Copies of this chain bind each other. A is one copy, B any other.
Amino acid sequence: MNFILKGDICCCKSQKELETLKDGYLICENALVKGIFAEIPAECASFPVADHSGCLIIPGLCDLHVHAPQYAFRGLGMDAELLDWLEAYTFPEESKYVEIDYANSAYSIFADAMRRSATTRACVFATLHTPATMLLMDKLDRSGIVTYVGKVNMDRNCPDTLRSESADAAIKATDVWIRSTKDRYKNTSPIITPRFVPACSDELMEGLGALQRKYGLPVQSHLSENKEEIAWVRELCPQADSYAGAYDRFGLFGGAGAPTIMAHCVWSEGSEENLLKDNGVFVAHCPQSNINLSSGIAPIRRFITQGIKVGLGSDVAGGCHLSILRAMSDAIQSSKLYWRIVAHDDPPLSVQEAFYLGSAGGGAFFGKAGSFIEGYEFDAVVIDDSAIPSSNPLTFEERLARIIYFSDDSIIRDKYVRGAKIDLD
């Protein structure tokens, strides 16, 4: 899989370093990035060239937190807060995925939307239903996008339709599901997924921790999203010294061999913040969801300064938009209000910093992904930004700002994941 993309190339090599090259050549060799070149090197002279002159070529974007079964009701129920919204919208909808025909129809819509977006990698929540979850994995695998998909675990504080019969039953079903899926797909892998502490008994968490160690899988869940939720966790887990601690005591909070994503972290501070950092846990920053559900604004500048790993999540359907470009502008806008209203020592995110979070920042969870550094997996998106009319010539930074603020999927011309071209039709 060797080829060359020609165009205006732009990526973050680090949080602070934007590399750009107008009319450059981005070379893919054996599904990996060989580099960005002003001239085609002699040894690549035989590679076919796709000419996208005038288009922006950026790394594929990474969505660290999205709920596939919630795509069906995105944009609805946004007048409620988290716990009420879960009861009124989320749980009733997720209950429908016991019906495989419903799941087939709804997950097709979701997988198509993911395929056509600028996202090339995603960490996805399904529901607790194994057949529907495997159907989703089939569809996502075929889409060509690289995904982790989680069968959701819940055994308390939820409707009967979504509650496993017992912790033991949930653990056994998850074990079977892991064995059925861990080597089944080219692009899709299972991820250990307790929904969140209020919905998981200690026994269930204990079992999930054991499964994590048995199979060495990554973990995803929710953390410190909403103040009522946090107070509830404090009641449910008096023995943990923070919400994070309630995962950590079961080995479900990062550390050796258990890379973990925690969504939200709106109210994380003190010992929880330290644990995020010490255990190398990824924060999936979901700014739009945190606004829609009136949760608040996560202190992302502070997390970054502390050296905590951060990526972006759409969190559909707490967030209405699947686009990680939109998540970038939401992250910038949230950080501006945080600076203005909450903490004047934490300056807002720049366009470049938000671009980093949505590409290389989240990409790090997947290994070498999200940038055009030599040896990285070749994920690239070609964007025809000439469709946004301008009376003036624009710099790379300005072009990036536009695609971020307008976040319009219709200007995506091509997408590659691990060197393979994705069908966008």
Contact = CB atoms under 8 A, between A and B. Distances in A.
Contact of A292 (B336, B339, B342, B392): B336
Contact of A401 (B78, B291, B391, B410): B78
Interface string A96-107: 000000100110
A337 interface: yes
A78 B351 contact: yes
A59 interface: no
Nearest to A332: B78
A105 B295 CA distance: 44
Given A75-B401, A75-B406, A76-B398, 8 more contacts: A78-B332, A102-B391, A105-B391, A109-B391, A288-B333, A296-B337, A297-B337, A337-B341
Contacts of A72: 390-392
Contact of A320 (B75, B105, B341, B405): B405
Interface string A287-330: 01001101111000000000000000000000011000000000
A149 B299 CA distance: 42
Contact of A392 (B73, B288, B295, B333): B73
A122 B291 CA distance: 28
Interface string A215-234: 00000000000000000000
Interface string A359-390: 00000000000000000000000000000111
A296 B341 contact: yes
Assign chain A's interface to a size class: 35 or more
A78 B405 CA distance: 10
Interface string A53-83: 0000000000000000000111110110000
- Of A106, A292, A340, most B-chain CB atoms within 10 Å: A340
- Of A72, A292, A401, A406, most B-chain CB atoms within 10 Å: A401
B390 A340 contact: no
A410 B387 CA distance: 14
A358 interface: no
Nearest to A107: B391
A2 interface: no
A295 B410 CA distance: 31
30 contacts: A72-B391, A73-B392, A74-B405, A75-B388, A75-B398, A75-B401, A75-B402, A75-B406, A76-B394, A76-B402, A78-B351, A78-B401, A79-B350, A102-B391, A105-B391, A106-B391, A109-B391, A291-B333, A291-B336, A291-B337, A292-B333, A292-B336, A294-B337, A294-B339, A294-B340, A295-B340, A321-B405, A337-B341, A341-B341, A341-B342
- Of A75, A296, A348, most B-chain CB atoms within 10 Å: A75
A413 to B, nearest CB: 18
